[in-house]
Amino acid sequence: MYIQKQDYQIRIRINLLDILLENIATGMGAGETPDDILAAANKIACDTIATKAGVVYKVDEEFTKTGNDRNGYILSLALSIALYEIYQRVDDYEVPEKVIKNYNDAFESLDDISRGKEPLNLPPRDNGENANPGDDENAGTTGTGLRRFGSAKKRSHRI
């Protein structure tokens, strides 16, 4: 798993996380363990990031990393998404405002990343890996830095 249990201490005390996980596991009745719940939240977070940021960057390799080799920014985004997903499964708790804000901020950042407005310290997708390989507009995404996608012509500064 990309997100390890101890990583959650950045966003929530581990003893509170354990209480949440136990409440979910005992309330579900389906025999899920706290580890199953963490694995499901991790998968949702990683899939969300891969879907959004994967438009511009190679993210699959990042999710195989562990410990300090992981990208801190991507880990932060994943934690925000995963913690929100955990809270969504608890019946008798309201989701704290800071968890909702972190989740919304993570999605805004991912939208900016997918549009090429916010860079990531990851390798870019190669020419053969574009979402639309026949599209000349999006071809040639080698190098690092921002990528601009769109069909609007360059503006002329003439009046």
Q: Is the dihedral of CA 130, 63, 44, 83 positive or negative?
A: negative
pLDDT higher than 90, residue 145:
no
pLDDT higher than 60, residue 140:
no
pLDDT higher than 50, residue 135:
no
Q: Which of 121, 69, 86 is nearest to 8 (CA)?
A: 86
pLDDT higher than 70, residue 98:
yes
